[in-house]
Chain A
Amino acid sequence: MAYSVNKDTKVATYNGDTYPPTQKTDAKTGNTTLVAKSEAECVEVKKIRDNYPNECLNRLREKRNSLIAQTDWWALGDITMTDAQKNYRQALRDITKTYKTIEEADGNWPTKPK
């Protein structure tokens, strides 16, 4: 894998992708320096970047699950769920088929029936 560092900007390039330097600040003097990422650090950041879409999807699921949980009482034995209520819960379950992040889903959540 190709790894290089721009001596002026301290930006590292690893396998075609760029990785910005780390800013270090000395608490006593306030002086800042830019330190280029090592090859191992670039590998670590690449893993984070690659996994980010999964994280976004998981966060969307967490929010979706929270909204479904708020209507769990509709499914209690002594209550009959209306079609609108059933459709709302199904639409929540299906939202990850259309959207992959909370940002995308924002403004497109199904309307909760009364």
Chain B
Amino acid sequence: MTGIVKTDQLQGAQSTTITIPTGNKISITDSATIGTLNATTMRGVTTFADSAVFSGAANITGLLASTVGQNFAPEFIGNLYLAGNTTDACELNGCFTNTHQVYRLIGEVGASWAGESYTKFFFLSGTDTKLASGYYGRGRTYDDASASTDTTQADGGFANINMNQASTGSSIVDMYFYRKQHAYQLLGTAAYHDQGSDRGYQHFGWKNNSALALTGFRLENGAGNNMSAINFSVYGYRLRQNATGEMLGAYQ
């Protein structure tokens, strides 16, 4: 039996809820429009065939998955912010976990030095213990005065993430931390303006073979003076969907 009910309003008889019984569904014919859908939860696979506009905030707690099921968006982890000359060392604790295998650390790093100096980068392990040994690698600067210099470490006490930093400015630093088991590696770039009016950039690659699980990082002024204008954010990448550990593989 079919029929057409013409009405301007539906209203519950016993309560304010109108229930469509299981096994039944409402079909809205193609091209019919809904003025306002005041839904709080939509279940099942929902396809937005046309453009979807979110004029308010879009809070997405699940993964942003591609068609092959991989997460392709970095996830914001945390921010290390230091406004002024109040300390010579600062840490971001609890930013590295098994959820992500690769982290991007980006921001600006400033400090107060008498002359040009650099910023020391340390990993933190366990309960925020500074890892002050086992750093290997090299950094090299290239600047407009062609006075390129190197920084090297072989079982050194820290990683240098911005050589030749002037006391009057801050470096911009962009680096990736590959969380590979027993072969933690940093790969990055920094732009600098040194005390001798040279401007340029630094490439660096650092490695630490620590068997300890790393949980965060620490920045220190290489000259022992105060730091300034630290604004450093960490984003996490899942190298595989639902990965629960570090990257594996030979480390030497």
Chain A contact residues, CB within 8 Å of chain B: 19-28, 30, 34, 45-46, 48-49, 52, 55-56, 59, 62-63, 66-67, 70, 101-106
Contact = CB atoms under 8 A, between A and B. Distances in A.
B148 A66 contact: yes
A75 B80 CA distance: 51
Contacts of B218: 22
Nearest 5 A/B pairs, CB to CB: A27-B78, A27-B95, A101-B115, A49-B224, A48-B224
A25 B93 contact: yes
Contacts of A103: 114-116, 167, 195-196
Contacts of A46: 224
Contact of B128 (A24, A66, A70): A24
Nearest to B82: A23
B22 interface: no
B222 to A, nearest CB: 7
Contact of B91 (A25, A45, A70): A25
26 contacts: A20-B87, A20-B88, A22-B87, A22-B89, A22-B218, A23-B89, A24-B93, A25-B90, A25-B91, A25-B93, A26-B93, A27-B77, A27-B93, A30-B78, A48-B224, A49-B224, A52-B114, A52-B224, A63-B147, A63-B149, A66-B146, A66-B147, A101-B114, A102-B115, A103-B114, A103-B195
Given A23-B87, A103-B115, A63 B196 contact: yes
B161 interface: no
A104 B114 CA distance: 10
Nearest to A50: B224
A23 B81 CA distance: 9
Given A27-B95, A28-B78, A106 B223 contact: no
Given A22-B87, A70-B146, A49 B92 contact: no
B98 interface: no
Interface size class of B (residues with CB under 8 A): 35 or more
A102 B224 contact: no
A105 B87 contact: no
B86 A105 contact: no
Nearest to A9: B86
B121 to A, nearest CB: 15
B202 to A, nearest CB: 14
Interface in B99-138: 114-117, 128
Contact of A56 (B91, B115, B147, B226): B115
A59 B91 contact: no
Contacts of B116: 56, 59, 101-103
Contact of A30 (B79, B222, B226): B79
A105 B197 CA distance: 11
B246 interface: no
B168 to A, nearest CB: 10
Nearest to B120: A48
A34 B116 CA distance: 27
Nearest to B91: A24
A45 B95 contact: no
A28 B90 CA distance: 16
Contacts of A63: 147, 149, 196
